[in-house]
Amino acid sequence: MPTTTDFLLPVLALVSWTLVMWFWLYATRIPAMKRAGIDPQEAAHPGTYGHRMPEHARSVADNYNHLHEQPTVFYALMFFIVLTGGATAGTLSLAWGYVGSRVLHSVVQSTINKVVVRFVIFAFGSLLLVCMTVRELLRVLG
């Protein structure tokens, strides 16, 4: 039986990865803004200068934003599982699979940015999240 700490490690891993992407975002965006001659004040309204940024810098920024979308469901689900006593080895494996899919999605989006590849990775991770959710629904309602 996984411990609470074991079960929260995937949460910590995904939070850590999000911060890696935050550093990568600024490591690409600030130099790109300087090269494009974009005044930082233009960033007051996101998206107004995006067409002047190179695709690579936009892809990293888009991925950082994506890490604040669906993963929030993952975080909530993980805390629900821990707080209600649902931590099992099977669910822990699904959680690590989800984290791995998010990291892989980030790497693909921020480097080669092939939409079909990204979609397959995203869909796989989403299915893992659905499996975790269904397991919990069956556990608490069954």
10 backbone dihedrals φ, ψ, rounded to 5°: -60, -35
pLDDT tens digit string along 98-121?
999 999 999 999 999 999 999 999
Instruction: Report pLDDT for 129.
Output: 98
Q: How sure is the predictor about 23, in pLDDT bands with cuts at 50, 70 and 90?
A: very high
Overall pTM > 0.75: yes
Report the C-alpha gap between 71 and 47 in whole angstroms: 23
Sequence ranges of the domains in the chain: 4-141
Contact present, 119 and 34 (Cβ < 8 Å) = no
CATH classification for the domain delimited by 4-141, as one of 1.20.120.550, 3.50.50.60, 3.90.1580.10, 1.10.3720.10:
1.20.120.550
Q: What's the rounded Cα separation, in Å, for the pair 77 and 128?
A: 12
pLDDT at residue 20, as a whole number: 98
Look up residue 70 and give its two tokens: 């669906």
